[in-house]
Amino acid sequence: MILSRRLHPPARRGRFNIIWKGSVPMLENDIQEILFSEEQLKARVAEIARQIEADYAGKEIMLISVLRGSFIFMADLCRAIHLPCTLDFMSVSSYGKSTTSSGQVQITKDLSEDITGRHVIVVEDILDSGNTLSYLLKILENRHPASIRLCTLLDKPERRVKPVEVHYTGFTIPDAFVVGYGLDYAERYRNLPYIGVLKPAVYGG
């Protein structure tokens, strides 16, 4: 997960409202509204997979997940793509403690595989300012892939500072703090099956 690339209030100790459904705790009381249901996410992922299949017909692709927020999205996406496909993972963060990205990237986990001559698709959870992601894409382009494209689950164009070419977009969303389907606040809510807006009271907003 790229840190500081979306509105991300500092973590604080506090109470999380847990609803127990059977033996699974759900943090649903902290959700202001559901933006995209489990069914909507599944359908959109399938549509993106068909787009990728059409664009890369007869080719093998390499999906690169930017940890941690995109891991569920990429897992669902790769299973929906009916092409030869390999996977790799990166973890990066912006320097400093600011809630806005500086655009400088520290790679905390690099790729395990060489991408030279490969058809790469970078899979991200949220694109907002574009600062950090544009820098990351330049790093990867310098490793000489055959091609490189960006696939983001969510796009916040209102927060864009630096232009980034997006080839595959799941949903365009307003400037709200969202969680679920891999996205977190203080490492919680990733396991929600939908994407929802977190109540400001939870993070002191």
**Taking 90 as the threshold, does the pLDDT of residue 11 lie above it?**
no
pTM for the model: 0.82
**Is residue 38 within a helix (H) or strand (E), and if so which, with residue range?**
helix 38-55
Q: What is the mean pLDDT of residues 118-131?
A: 93
Tens digits of per-residue pLDDT, 61-80?
Answer: 999 998 889 999 999 999 99
- What token pair was written down for 175? 């400037």
Report the CATH number that the domain containing residue 149 is assigned in CATH. 3.40.50.2020
**Three-class SS state of 62:** strand
Question: Looking at the domain assignment, is residue 20 inside a domain?
Answer: no
Question: Looking at the domain assignment, is residue 194 inside a domain?
Answer: no
Question: Looking at the domain assignment, is residue 6 inside a domain?
Answer: no
User: How would DSSP label each residue in 128-195?
Assistant: SS-HHHHHHHHHHHTT--SEEEEEEEEE-GGG--S----SEEEEE--S--EEBTTB-BTTBSTT-SSE
Nearest to 183 by CA among 195, 168, 173: 195
pLDDT given for residue 104 in this prediction: 64
**Taking 60 as the threshold, does the pLDDT of residue 15 lie above it?**
no
pLDDT given for residue 18 in this prediction: 47
Question: Looking at the domain assignment, is residue 186 inside a domain?
Answer: no
Question: Looking at the domain assignment, is residue 184 inside a domain?
Answer: no
Question: Looking at the domain assignment, is residue 94 inside a domain?
Answer: yes
Confidence of residue 12 (pLDDT cuts 50, 70, 90): very low
Q: Which domain holds residue 49?
A: 36-177
Q: Is 128 noted as a catalytic residue in this protein?
A: yes
Provide the number of structural domains found in the chain.
1
Confidence of residue 205 (pLDDT cuts 50, 70, 90): low
Question: Looking at the domain assignment, is residue 56 inside a domain?
Answer: yes
Round the average pLDDT of the chain to a whole number and report it: 84
Task: Check 30, 76, 128, 184 and give the catalytic one.
Answer: 128
Question: Looking at the domain assignment, is residue 192 inside a domain?
Answer: no
Name the more confident of 173 and 16.
173
**Is residue 48 within a helix (H) or strand (E), and if so which, with residue range?**
helix 38-55
